[in-house]
Amino acid sequence: MLKVGIIGVGTVGASVANILEQNSDIIEARCGKKIVPIVGIVRDVSRDRGVSIPLSTNMDDVLENSEVDVVIELMGGVEGPFEVVKKALQNGKAVVTANKALLAYHRYSLQDIAGDIPIGFEASVAGGIPIIKALREGLSANHIESIKGIMNGTCNFILTKMMSEKVEFKDVLDEAQKLGYAEADPTFDVGGFDAAHKLLILASIAYGIHANPEDILIEGIEHINSEDIFFAKEFGYNIKHLTIAKKCANNKVELRAHAALVPSSQMIAKVDDVMNGISVIGDRVGETMYYGPGAGGDATASAVIADLIDIARVGQSSPMLGFKRDLEGGGLTLLNSDEIETKYYMRIKVSDEIGVLTKITSILGDFGISVDSFLQKPDSSDKSLATLLFSTHKCKELDVQNAMNEIAKLSTCREKPVMIRIED
């Protein structure tokens, strides 16, 4: 029998306890053992959680309990859970966590502390989609060329609504919060951080890249408005919040999480609503695609329990982050964000005066930016204003940032220009 303590019996913790009970036949048949939750840790034991396991407010009832074989960490936060997981490992207990923020900062320290003790974290990226297993085991013969994912359901829900109905960002965010998709602090979702945390975990497994959130380009979706949606539709794009890891020249890898215009014909562009989708290209397998629920009690618990079953079967046989040693000749390193090269879309609100367009295209030209397509939209409420919508050919991130800063200084520029990257 494998005995489990659950720290944090919220939506996911309660699902874990209930699925372990209700699906015990298949779970036991698959791993040859019973997996039994023996205690759950909560802040308030008087609140009904819909579970039949004993509850306690004392963390040591799990961490110092010699009966507990595996600690499931479902607390949320970074430093608090780090101390908890460290203590569990130091006490010789295996750990399963769904905490992407914890892993975004501490995955390498935890790997070191754990040694041979298993740490499962399938639930930390894209909820119910087994993407960690896919990368670490299923695709382990491949050099990974790229990972392109929709890994935040809240952003995807909001953008899907903005594309299909005439609604603005703020109104849909309220709805997403009411439906319970967003994190407690929704800036984690709509600011791109939740997706970036997940990307960093995958980047370690795919490339051995040891980066922190501060090292990579992270943007959210707060700046997207109906004019961007209009342009996207006009030119055959969807707007998605993407996480991108891409191998580029000179053994570099670019890592970024931001909104992007994606051709509507691509499979990833069709991943809608609160669903997650991830495309992984391996040098031998080609493109593989993963689709499913990225959040929700049962979907996330499904991944947590898959880790428990692995631990019950043999102990974890794969190294936590997928590598037994560094790549020969040195591994891959992170590309500086300024060096990223892609296509861009820009939205610039200006006074509709003679010569404005010439000034702007001249600035773009000065920075070596070549325009691909252009639209001018009159302002619906103020006839003296117009919005200029450009897309560019491939150019460098730093040049685009510099050009946008110069354009913002023009007296005819009436709002901070906005840019969205294009991912063909």
Q: What residues have CB less than 8 Å from 374, skipping those under 6 apart?
A: 388, 389, 390, 391
Cα dist. 139→134, 159, 281, 292, 322 in Å?
A: 6, 31, 10, 19, 11
The residue from 100, 148, 198, 246 that is catalytic is 198
Provide the residue type at 400 as one letter.
V
Distance of CA 371 to the CA centre of its chain: 31
198 catalytic? Reply is: yes
Q: Give the C-alpha separation, 39 to 20, whole Å.
A: 13
Q: Identify the CA nearest to 5 among candidates 70, 53, 90.
A: 70
Task: Supply the minimum distance, in Å, between the C-beta of residue 148 and ligand HSE.
Answer: 16
- Give, as one character, the DSSP assignment of residue 143: P
Task: Supply the minimum distance, in Å, between the C-beta of residue 319 and ligand HSE.
Answer: 24
The nearer residue to ligand HSE, 303 or 420, going by C-beta atoms, is 303
Q: Which residue has the tokens 């051709």?
A: 263
The nearer residue to ligand HSE, 241 or 246, going by C-beta atoms, is 241
Task: Supply the minimum distance, in Å, between the C-beta of residue 291 and ligand HSE.
Answer: 14
Task: Supply the minimum distance, in Å, between the C-beta of residue 46 and ligand HSE.
Answer: 27
The nearer residue to ligand HSE, 61 or 189, going by C-beta atoms, is 189
Size of the chain, expressed as the number of residues it contains: 424
- Torsion region of 236: left, alpha or beta (phi above 0 gives left; psi -120 to 50 gives alpha): left
The nearer residue to ligand HSE, 182 or 400, going by C-beta atoms, is 182
- The residue ranges that bind ligand HSE (CB under 6 A) are 127, 152-154, 181-183, 189, 194, 294-295
Q: Give the C-alpha separation, 351 to 349, whole Å.
A: 7
- Give, as one character, the DSSP assignment of residue 126: T
- Give, as one character, the DSSP assignment of residue 58: -
Q: Give the C-alpha separation, 136 to 396, whole Å.
A: 32
Tokens, residue 249: 């020249």
The nearer residue to ligand HSE, 194 or 399, going by C-beta atoms, is 194
What angle do helix axes 169-178 and 153-164 make, rounded to 10 degrees?
A: 130
The nearer residue to ligand HSE, 74 or 262, going by C-beta atoms, is 74
Query: Which residues are part of the catalytic machinery?
Result: 198
